[in-house]
Amino acid sequence: MNIRIGHGFDVHRFAENRRLLLGGVEIPYEMGLLGHSDADVLIHALCDALLGAAALGDIGLHFPDSDAQYKDADSTLLLSKVVALLCKEGWCIGNVDITVMAEAPKLSPFIAVMRTRLAGLLLVDQGQVNVKATTTEKLGFVGRKEGIACEAVAIINRLERG
């Protein structure tokens, strides 16, 4: 069995007149995140973790913000493309573990639906997807409620070819 691990990290600042999307789920909040795409910081970190594990670069390589076709793109579609690329390369997702850092809004009511949504996008069982939320104890840009950060770790595997 060939097993690899990847790590992803992303940050987006809050902006008015934007929807807040995390893990493909719309979260009711007074602001959303600013980005070239829909700025789903959780999915962006997850894409980077998966691509990194497979040594396939990063989200900016595959979906550059200089490309107009990704303007306001639905990040769930980007994640589906990453999953398809991994499958094409012979990789299977073992599990993912994601930590969202946000002072606000409170995310615990949305964790279960995020896990379900992500499991469907990743083509895995919900038990292979973990999502956690934490604050930064009012420290830094997250603590000042200027934005949200996210870290993701992914394990991928495939059978050795004989």
CB 24 within 8 A of CB 41: no
Per-residue pLDDT tens over the stretch 114-144: 999 999 999 999 999 999 999 999 999 999 9
Longest pairwise C-alpha distance within the chain: 55
Q: Give the domain ranges of the chain.
A: 2-158
DSSP assignment, residue 41?
Answer: H
Overall fold of domain 2-158: 60s Ribosomal Protein L30; Chain: A; (3.30.1330)
The model carries a pTM of 0.95
pLDDT reading at 161 higher than 70: no
| pLDDT per position as a tens digit, 54-64 | 999 999 999 98
pLDDT at residue number 160 = 63
Residue 162 predicted with pLDDT over 60: no
